[in-house]
Amino acid sequence: MIELLRIRRSTRKFTSEKVSVEAVETLIEAALRAPASRSINPWEFIVVDDPELLQKLSLSKQHGSEFVARAPLAIVVCADETKSDVWVEDCSIAAILIQCTAVSLGLGSCWAQIRNRKHDARQSAEAYIQELLGLPDNIKVECVLGIGHAAERLRPLPAEKLQHDKIRRNRWA
């Protein structure tokens, strides 16, 4: 796992090659194996490979979702907010597991944060996606993951660039 974390980078440029059916099924399995508080599993996943929908998803928020239009696959990570008060955390865990699994399959991915972001002056990014994908009101959207074959390989972050000053041992001071 540490090797996957070492090489994982946010991929925003993808080739036009489709993600294989086997890879998509493996990503779905990873999502469904994600741990969740009290095993409630409030998360829901929408797998999108329709180019027209990918284009519309890329317009979800004002900045930072454009790359979804160039991805051959997206997974919308959402949850039934009525099932758990920690659905955000559960969705976040599932999303990073999907991303790590993508790396293990030789794919790239990038997270587009949706929750608490604006689509435009009148509508939230979440409301835009709820309307676009026909989600019921109780299904809240955490993020959209763009996934595909990377068009460029970004170098891993060197170990000496890790922010070791963020680590405390036993106490803050």
Residues in the chain, total: 173
> CA-CA distance, 50 to 74, in Å (whole number)?
9
In angstroms, what CA-CA distances link 99 with 17, 75, 115?
A: 18, 10, 18
Question: Token pair of 104, please?
Answer: 């293990």
The per-residue pLDDT string of the chain (173 residues; one tens digit each, 9 = 90 and over) reads: 888 888 788 999 999 999 999 999 999 999 999 999 999 999 999 999 999 999 999 999 999 999 999 999 999 999 999 999 999 999 999 999 999 999 999 999 999 999 999 999 999 999 999 999 999 999 999 999 999 999 988 888 889 999 999 999 999 98
Tokens of 150: 């990377």
Burial (CB count <10 Å: 0-12, 13-18, 19+), residue 63: exposed
In CATH, the number for domain 2-166 is: 3.40.109.10
Specify the pTM.
0.94
Q: What tokens appear for 116 in the block?
A: 């608490």
